[in-house]
Structure 1
Amino acid sequence: MDEHNPSRDYGLSDFDVPQRFVTSFVYQLPVGRGRRFLSSTNKAVDLIAGGWQVTGITTFQKGFPFSVLAADKLGLLTSFTQRANQVGQAYPSGFQKSINEWFNTAAFTQPLAGQFGSSGRNILRQPGINNWDVGFGKTFNFTERIGFQFRAEAFNIFNHTQYGYDPFTSTGIASSVDNNPNDPQYGKVIAARPGRILQLGAKFIF
């Protein structure tokens, strides 16, 4: 932290998310005895085709912020990380963001030895989230108290690429974009969460 210019360390929290939308839904398929379709079918067909339910969770979210870092060549900082010098616009007019150059990499450079970087804290954002989780299941009731439930579930059912570190294995919010001008992958998106995951589940209810 540059004590002569503390304003550069005023910025967004690592956990800042300006827009996040999450919704869930439950839909009972209108198929089977007493329903719109196959309402007068026999018990055998109803056992197979009736009573199925679709559930889901949909998430849209802006990405987490990150800083452009640099090497602290003379050990000026003990509790904070050195940031790069900003010498241009991160997103100049006409710039096309891509996974190979998430921001204008020419806008940031390594500070000279003994200097603090001029770029601010958390001035850029990582890719966001566009995720759909869907389940398909049915409960088979043997008595009023005893039943058997079967479920087929798909996480990220549309197999959208979700850039970022896997929240189940990572220990913190690390940048999914290489943010150090000294790295060979500088400016590239370097991490992605798992793709579509399918699972089957079953349980007895009593």
Structure 2
Amino acid sequence: MYSCNSGISAQAANETTSLAYLDVPGYSGETAANECFPACATLNGQTTGYAFWSPQYASLDSWSSIGNSAYNSGQLSLRHHSGGLSFDLNYTYSKSTDIGSNAERVSVFEGLGFSSQIINAWSPNQLRGPSDFDTTHAINANWVYELPLGKGKRFGGGMSKLADAVIGGWQISGLWRWSTGYPFSVYPFYSWPTNWDLESNAILVGKKPKTGQFIVAQAGGGTGPNVFQNPGITNSSDPNAAVNQFRDAYPGESGQRNELRGPGSFNIDMGLSKTWEINESQNLKLSWEVFNVTNSVQFDAGNIQNVNNYTDSPSSFGNFINTLFKPRVMQLGARYTF
């Protein structure tokens, strides 16, 4: 693996603007390939997975340096420091592709924690597609602002020590993040056309369904959140329904990986603190921090446990069951420095 980056920056007064390009190709990455194939067909009355050279195995992983990846991005940053205000504003336009990866939010024991495994070891690049963690557009900002109130500040600089203990020493901070959606795949149910241990992905053959975060009618009545605008839950015979736009993979195929995109993400964390200076070497700081300030619900379509994306389950196809962020959480803190 090697990397190439270039950038320019300009500084004016208390602000710095930078523009950068980053190229990181990856070669010979460690990847697991499952060698139990061909799968599930019959040969002379026997399942081929047991009729070939490894009849004693249902799963046979082999680690080798066949992984490859590529990451390219353009990055724009604005940084400001003055008047008690410090902030960073960053935008990234990027693309990451590989033949297998896991999103950081997915452990090896949930969802597609095994999605870095190769389904067809004879043709590993069948799985090449957007990385599980790929986001095309991402914006984030962070800031710290010391309110200009109190002794020695712009407003109330000559106030008494008692008044300063109430009015001065306040600070506001925050972190804002926004990004486009993570990629995800669709799967047939109990389908091992190529590998006895790993199911192949489904293949899009119809019109690409509109994805995002929608409220749709449910099979049991009522409504619920779904990644597809028209999943086909209440009318699976609709030829335009998302569930009818895919076919099962054929023997030798791995299917399409990360062909679709889930909804984007949005989150704000903020903090408020008050500091009392006892003397030159001692101070007391109380803080109040809020995570997911808006209590926004951001659903996750990025792995198999978080969305019902089996084509053989039209009554729940595309329904969300997990979120990207936890509900609003608050915490209080105290810090004594001496």
Q: TM-score, normalised by structure 2?
A: 0.50
Partner of 1:170: none
Kept in 2: contact 1:84–1:108 (CA 8 A):
no
Secondary structure at 1:90's aligned position in 2? Answer: coil
Q: Secondary structure at the match of 2:293?
A: coil
Report which of the two has the higher share of strand: 2
Instruction: Check if 1:111 corresponds to 2:248.
Output: yes
The answer to whether 1:198 aligns with 2:330 is yes
2:318 to 187, 195, 198: 187
Cα distance in 2 for residues equivalent to 1:32 and 1:56: 22
How far apart, in 1, do the equivalents of 2:156 and 2:120 lie?
72
Unaligned 5+ residue runs, structure 1? 166-172
Aligned residue identity for 1:174: N
Q: Deviations over 1:89-108 (max 9, x none)?
A: 2236xx88515442352344
Aligned to 1:56: 174
Q: Does 1:121 align with 2:252?
A: no
Q: Do structure 1's residue 139 and structure 2's residue 255 form an aligned pair? A: no
Q: Distance in 1 between matches of 2:140 and 2:196?
A: 39
1:18-33 aligned at under 5 Å gives the runs 18-33=136-151
SS of 1:190's equivalent?
coil
| Gap regions ≥5 residues in structure 2 | 1-118, 216-224, 231-241
3-state DSSP of counterpart to 2:173: strand
Mapped contact 1:60–1:131 kept (Cα < 8 A): yes
What amino acid is aligned across from residue 140 of structure 1 in structure 2? W
Which of the residues 227, 230, 235 maps onto 1:102? 227
What does 1:129-168 align with in structure 2 at a 5 Å threshold? 129-164=265-300
Output the CA distance in 2 between the equivalents of 1:119 and 1:42.
72
Equivalent residue, structure 1, for 2:20? none
Q: State the TM-score, normalized to the length of structure 1.
A: 0.78
RMSD: 3.0
- TM-superposed CA distance for 1:123, in Å, is 0.7
Q: In 2, Cα distance between the equivalents of 1:188 and 1:194?
A: 18
Q: Which has the higher contact order (CA 8 A, sep 6+)?
A: 1
Alignment of 1:72-83 (within 5 A): 72-73=190-191, 76-78=194-196, 80-83=198-201
Cα offset, 1:141, TM superposition: 2.0
C-alpha distance in structure 1 between counterparts of 2:192 and 2:166, whole Å = 71
Give structure 1 regions of 4+ aligned residues with deviation exceeding 4 angstroms: 2-8, 114-119
Counterpart CA distance in 2 for 1:157 and 1:174 is 26
Identity %: 31
* Whole-angstrom CA distance in 2 between matches of 1:96 and 1:41: 54
The answer (yes or no) to whether the contact 1:71–1:82 under 8 Å persists in 2 is no
